[in-house]
Structure 1
Amino acid sequence: MSPTKVIKLTVISDIICPWCYIGQRELDNALKMCSDLPVQVEIEYRPYRIYPSLSDGQFLEKLQWYESKFGSEKIKTMETMILPRARELGIDLKFTDGIITQTTLAHRLMLKAWKMGGQSTQQALLAALFKGYFEASANIGDTDVLADMAVIAKMMTKEEAVSFLESDELLDEVETMINESKKKGINGVPFIVINGKWAVSGGQTAEIFTQIFTKLANHDPTTPRPTYATPSNPPKSVATAPLMA
């Protein structure tokens, strides 16, 4: 039997990005499909802001904000690309419902989850955040809502979560991570760095991730060719590239 190979993924994403939710679900499916491979996949999620113009603490009706930014026709086009893909993955995605807000608080909580419990705790929180925001129209800029999600992820008590969120703990670290992504030229998410050497952008399918994991398990090189995707411009093909310095 071949020795187990460790594959480290750094996933740069934003909670309010639907392609990030889709990508997360596809990655989960890929891990199930690769359960018989001699690989151990370690995943860390890092922050990104897809709409940097949104201010912290600013709460806007999502549909109204989307219409002002994209226009009604483009929203319809975006929905025709996003909603069918989400349904295929069992996601009841409500694209224009609820509140849109900046995600700094949620990213701080995600980093706290990583520091407290590593991959398992961070992924439990991420699942709660994505499901709450996209399927239950939860306001993830609200301290009380985020504290409830920390409880769901079994990170801490609600009182502890509120205390953390009302502080500035990890704010500088989150800002540094976001700025580092910008400096590396990352302009669309999800953006996945593989073993610090290659990157895959966009909400790729589970089949694509499976091909990558299989190649790495067999020590085959990936093909360098970068591409980028945004919530309104979904990826059409796999993209791997050396990590930018």
Structure 2
Amino acid sequence: MGAPRVIKLLVISDIICPWCYIGQREMERAVEMCRDLPIDVEIEYRPYRIYPSLKDGQFMEKRPWYEERFGKDKTQEMERVALQRADELGLNIKYMDGIITQTTLAHRMLLKAWQLGGQASQQAFLTVLFKGYFENLANIGDTEVLADMAVDAKLMTKEEAVSFLESTECLDEVERMMNEARKKGVNGVPFVVIDGKWAVSGGQTAEVYAQILKKLANSEPTTPRPTHAAPPAASVPLKA
């Protein structure tokens, strides 16, 4: 038997997006469902700002901000749908509680986590981020809070984390990655790029991801033909 096929998933996401938290859990379930297949799944998270108008260092109460932006009725419906899906996955998220803030600092630390320890370190820190923001209502735009999270994820000491966050390290790379995503047509997250060729958008279930992984495990790598449209749950070729 040959070496397992490596399947690379690039997940473009933002920490303040509940569907990205839900998507992380669904992807974990999918990988577990496929653990007996002859594949190794490598997952790397890339940055995105779902609300680019938010300024770094700007903090606002979440529910009033959403209601002003989307209206009360739509905000309530957004919350209902997300909470129902999260509850099915055992995630105790508080969607409209706490504050909303820009995520540049957190994305820089996520990229640093990848540089320091690859998938394992990045996933560990991302899990702490999501849980802190959606369950513990942490201010993930605050340097001290993020530094404590880095310690919790065993990424670095608090002093090292504060020093990193107060620098500009990884800032240019994060900005470049976000610009590249938008240039490729990404206008919502989560957005998952598979082996640099295929993409799946939206809050898909573990079953959808597992189906794709199973197909890839049983097929030779191919170059997809261009397509003009596809249903939301289907994988589609990624435009250059």
Letter in 2 for 1:31: V
Mapped to 1, the partners of 2:202 and 2:86 lie a distance apart of 14
**Which residue of structure 1 aligns with residue 116 of structure 2?**
116
CA offset digits 1:155-198 (Å, max 9, x no partner):
10001100100111111110010000111111010000000010
TM-score by length of 2: 0.95
SS of 1:203's partner is: coil
**What stretches of structure 1 of length at least 5 have no aligned partner?**
228-235
The Cα of 1:203 is off from its aligned counterpart by 1.3
Matched, 1:238 2:224: no
Structure 1 residues 79 and 225, CA, compared in 2 at 3 Å: closer, same or farther? farther
Name the counterpart of 2:155. Answer: 155
Distance 1:204 1:54, change over 3 A: same
2:45 corresponds in structure 1 to 45
Partner SS for 1:147: helix
Q: Which residue of 1 aligns with 2:195?
A: 195
Indicate conservation of the 8 Å contact 2:9/2:192, yes or no. yes
CA contact (8 A) 1:7 1:195 kept: yes
Q: Aligned partners of 2:229, 2:102: CA distance in 1, in Å?
A: 28
| Corresponding residue number in structure 2 for 1:63 | 63
Percent identity of paired positions between Structure 1 and Structure 2: 68
Q: CA RMSD in A?
A: 1.6
Which stretches in structure 2 are left out of the alignment for 5+ residues? none
Letter in 1 for 2:234: A
After superposition, residues 1-245 of structure 1 pair within 5 angstroms as: 1=1, 3-219=3-219, 237-245=232-240
2:157 & 2:202 partners in 1: Cα distance? Answer: 35
**Structure 1 segments (4+ residues) deviating >2 Å:** 220-227
Amino acid at match of 1:22: I
Q: How many pairs align?
A: 237
Which amino acid counterpart does residue 14 of structure 2 have in structure 1? D
- Aligned pair in 2 of structure 1 residues 44, 226: CA closer, same or farther (>3 Å)? farther
Contact 2:190 2:201 in 1 (8 A): yes
Compute the TM-score of the two structures, normalised by the length of structure 1: 0.93
Tell me how far 1:2 sits from its aligned partner: 5.9
